[in-house]
Structure 1
Amino acid sequence: MSVALNIEGPSHSPSHSTSCSTDHAWLQSLMTESRAGNNSNQVNELEVPRVPSEFRKMKENTDCYEPLVVSIGPYHHGKKELKEMEKLKAEMAGQFVKDSRVTAEEMYSKVKELVNDARKCYAEESTRQFNDEKLTQMMFLDGHFILHVVSNKLEKQKLRKEEVASVRRDLFLLENQLPFRVLIPLMRLYKRKGDHIAVEDTSPSKQSSSPESKDQNWRKMLKHFFKDIHEIPPQRELCWKKISLFFSDLPRALKLSSKSPRFKDSALGLDSYDHLLEFFYFMFVYGQVGQDQPERRRYGEITSWNRYYSVNELKNVGISFMPSNTRVFTDVKFKNTLLGGALCIPPLSIEDSTKSLLLNLAAYETCAGWYYGRCTSYVCLMRSLIDKPEDVKELRSKGILRTTIGSDDQIAQIFKEITTNLAPNPTAYTKVKGSVESHYRSSVKRWILENKGPFSRAVVKYSFIYGIAVSAIQAYLAETKEKPGLGNCSCSNATL
């Protein structure tokens, strides 16, 4: 301790002085590293970050972050297995430019203006090998390729259905994103007479030629493209239910229409989002593109802890399952009934790309620092419900899961693999978990439900005995009524 207090004292020996200066240097470096560490723990500020290392620790999930047929941006550019699509990119970009009334030079120069900003969106080591010219060419081809795909022109190419599905899957990888700051200028520059995404410059209305109005056309196209990616199985609804839903939703619709435009779906421009995956995230995880963004990390919240139960465990205590009619796949609700309850879960299609999509959405919200972790918590909630193949079977029978791949056992395994190394927010689904826990621990409800078998058997048994007894009594009474009458008749006949 005295050494630390007299670090600069003149009375120390040279060797002691050297030791003290070394200690001082070490302490200074420690403080410097501490300040650097604080910065490194902050939310990732890159618009297109790398997938966090903890997500790649599970070998079964590694391929979910890698493109299968096409690379977008610098992270996976140049891989041998993706070179075939590079040729198609050039062909599609050429065709896209031909269809536009804007010259190729004008489009290219616009991308070139943004190349320095685009470079900052990616990890520095990934763009170091590309000079400005190479990076501009990459952004130019990748941008037109994305516009080609989302405008449903990919089907015109001579590609197999499997290749088209792989392309769509690759566009929703976290490391395979193109910044909207590059994509949006290409959208706004594109003009084609008679095309539904084009906006005529000759229109007398200034509003119709504004960037906002052009964004609206592309937003509609993106939403249509997203709905094809996240398709919901059709559900049958009774006529009376449709009528009741209409009248119940009418006040809400009138209320929303009177709100400020910033709360509407068309409020925020495309440039409010970083890339395609983020746009998709807000649409299908938070329900409405244009609403307020989720809060970033907060600490110190108090929450009650509830254990998780599988589908069959909940089914045995009177909780049923039903699909909810919403595209927000994280919107899970609990409804109370007289003796039981119902978990309302949005339908989810399990396809080849579903595992990859959910993992990349979870990786995105981790990098973005969204505190609630809605997608991660949803996946973990589904994993808690799906413990065995029988749980998958039950959810399939209720229309909550629609599987086009594998057996029930394989689907259960997929959810186990997805949730490895994922940590849900303990405050997520608090009301749902609390309602389930309350119902599960209800001694009266559980006693009635657990004994409903003996009750029903007892009711049948004693009803049968009661029926026999009543029949016997009725027969006896009928017989006793007849005997006096017969006696009187015989006496009167004898007298006569």
Structure 2
Amino acid sequence: MESTVIKHTEQKNKEDPSANNSRKIDEEALITQDEFDGCRMHKVPQPMRFKKHKEEDYYAPKMVSFGPYNHGLPELRMVEEFKPKVFTMFVSRSGKDKEFFYYMILKVIDQVRNCYVGVSRDVYDDGALAEMMLLDACFTIYLMKISLGDGEKSFHFYQHLGMAASIFAFRDMYILENQIPLWVIELSINLIYGNKEEESMLLCNFLSFVTFGDLRLTRIPGEDKKRPLHLLGAYHQLLVQEWDNAGKKLVQPVSECQWFLPRPWRKEGPNEFGKFSRQFRSVTDLKAKGIYFKPSSNCLKDIKFKSYTFFGQLQLPIWFISNHSKLIFQNMIAYEASPESDVGFSTICYINFLKSLIVKPEDVKELREKKILFSSLDCDEQVVQVIKEIDTCGIYLAPIFDDVTDENWGALQQQGKDMDC
């Protein structure tokens, strides 16, 4: 059934065309889908769910739904009933009325619908979908404010939902099937705060904080070209590319992986099986052979190996392992493996590489002491278990990078082979 607020708004604007003009919203400030990557939000590929019947479902929300794919689930009812209160709080401080917010979302509802797969008007009419987007966008902004230290909103959340709920609410923001368009969030921020500076800094600060743990970014990466469609995509983009503080992409230490066919198959032919083995030694094995470790950056592709006369140096990305790491990686892997995805396979490569490097607690200890791996877990054994349980669904992509030359890559393999001599 169509939202009564939407119908009231449409009738109001028909009767009084000047109503929109009095609101003084500059049309040029509105965000459109044209600025984003144009892909649709797909559900997790079904083959990736086959092993999940005995495990926790890392592709399903526990506390809050964002978007239509999980909307209306009974276990998420508590937050769903709380969202209108958050919306009312933002509206009351904006100087505008609720009908105005609904009308502005309704104006772009066709673009919103095109961002999803299988969300027809028979499932959600325009009014219902617009209301869903507005409530979900406002709740996302609400969580962003809380994560950035807004004490008033934190108290408001804890008072209504409890402190434990916040852990699951933030967790649910990283789920692939639980996303709303990033441009809808930006539009909602603009409607609430009425200026582009407030809008850009809120989203920029949130992305910077959840990715790097600080506010180093001063602008949203990729503002000068197509941007990711949703928050998970933006988070993924920040992790697989090197950025300066102004949000501009730096020259990559390693560039795109050469996917699917290992280098010897491409150069020498399919019969030279011995040359395309990419099995690596663990951290402690490599250390015993004279290979030392050094942190590189927060970019998952920033992996470099330098071979010297009597030792080698392997530079690895800095990463923080938490209780949510498995969920985040599983959903980024699903994002990379989704239909229409053109973001590469950096996460899959990184996880496969990490699985070979870390096989026992001593490997974790070495990387922790080198300030490469950090953790909020109780012990190194738990870190090993988390990494072991991350499921790449049998996808093995040789982590070969253009800027890692055949000579240096061969040197890393050769030093590992020499251990057997």
TM-score by length of 1: 0.63
1:225 aligns with 2:171: no
Code of the residue aligned with 1:345 in structure 2: it is: L
Of the three residues 292, 304, 317, the one matched with 1:333 is 304
Of the three residues 89, 93, 99, the one matched with 2:87 is 93
Q: CA 1:439 to 1:428, structure 2 compared with 1: closer, same or farther past 3 Å? A: closer
Q: Secondary structure at the match of 2:234?
A: helix
Q: CA 1:155 to 1:424, structure 2 compared with 1: closer, same or farther past 3 Å? A: farther
Structure 2: unaligned runs, 5 residues or longer: 1-36, 268-274
- Name 2:366's counterpart in structure 1: 394
Where has structure 1 moved over 6 Å in runs of 4 or more?
Answer: 292-301
- Name 2:143's counterpart in structure 1: 149
**Aligned partners of 1:53, 1:400: CA distance in 2, in Å?**
34
Q: CA 1:297 to 1:333, structure 2 compared with 1: closer, same or farther past 3 Å? A: closer
Code of the residue aligned with 1:87 in structure 2: it is: E
**Structure (1 or 2) with the greater helix fraction:** 1
1:283 aligns with 2:282: no
Q: CA 1:439 to 1:446, structure 2 compared with 1: closer, same or farther past 3 Å? A: same
**Aligned partners of 2:321, 2:201: CA distance in 1, in Å?**
25
1:187 aligns with 2:189: yes
Q: How does 1:305-454 map to 2 (within 5 A)?
A: 305=276, 306-324=278-296, 326-367=297-338, 368-370=340-342, 372-426=344-398, 428-429=400-401, 431=404, 435=408, 437-441=410-414
Q: Secondary structure at the match of 1:88?
A: helix
TM-score by length of 2: 0.73
1:69 aligns with 2:60: no
**Aligned partners of 2:132, 2:369: CA distance in 1, in Å?**
47
Q: CA 1:162 to 1:398, structure 2 compared with 1: closer, same or farther past 3 Å? A: farther
- Name 1:255's counterpart in structure 2: none
1:78 aligns with 2:49: no
Q: CA 1:72 to 1:270, structure 2 compared with 1: closer, same or farther past 3 Å? A: farther
**Aligned partners of 1:356, 1:365: CA distance in 2, in Å?**
14
Q: Which structure has the bigger radius of gyration?
A: 1
Q: Secondary structure at the match of 1:174?
A: coil
1:310–1:384 Cα contact (<8 Å) kept: yes
**Aligned partners of 1:71, 1:297: CA distance in 2, in Å?**
37
Q: CA 1:412 to 1:404, structure 2 compared with 1: closer, same or farther past 3 Å? A: same
Q: How does 1:295-306 map to 2 (within 5 A)?
A: 302=266, 305=276, 306=278
- CA shift, 1:359, in A, is 1.4
Structure 1: unaligned runs, 5 residues or longer: 1-43, 192-197, 200-213, 234-263, 451-496
- Name 1:49's counterpart in structure 2: 42
Quick one: percent identity of the two aligned structures? Answer: 28
- Larger RCO of the pair (alpha carbons < 8 Å, separation 6+): 2
Q: Secondary structure at the match of 2:137?
A: helix
Q: CA 1:62 to 1:361, structure 2 compared with 1: closer, same or farther past 3 Å? A: same
Code of the residue aligned with 1:48 in structure 2: it is: M
Q: CA 1:357 to 1:110, structure 2 compared with 1: closer, same or farther past 3 Å? A: same
Q: Secondary structure at the match of 1:48?
A: coil
Q: CA 1:158 to 1:273, structure 2 compared with 1: closer, same or farther past 3 Å? A: closer
Q: CA 1:416 to 1:311, structure 2 compared with 1: closer, same or farther past 3 Å? A: same
Of the three residues 121, 130, 136, the one matched with 1:136 is 130
1:322–1:398 Cα contact (<8 Å) kept: yes
Q: CA 1:297 to 1:437, structure 2 compared with 1: closer, same or farther past 3 Å? A: closer
1:321–1:345 Cα contact (<8 Å) kept: yes
Q: How does 1:457-472 map to 2 (within 5 A)?
A: none
Q: CA 1:162 to 1:330, structure 2 compared with 1: closer, same or farther past 3 Å? A: farther
The C-alpha deviation readout for 1:166-219, integer Å capped at 9, x for no partner, is 22221111111101342232222223xxxxxx53xxxxxxxxxxxxxx1x5433
1:58 aligns with 2:60: no
**Aligned partners of 2:49, 2:309: CA distance in 1, in Å?**
46
- CA shift, 1:98, in A, is 1.0
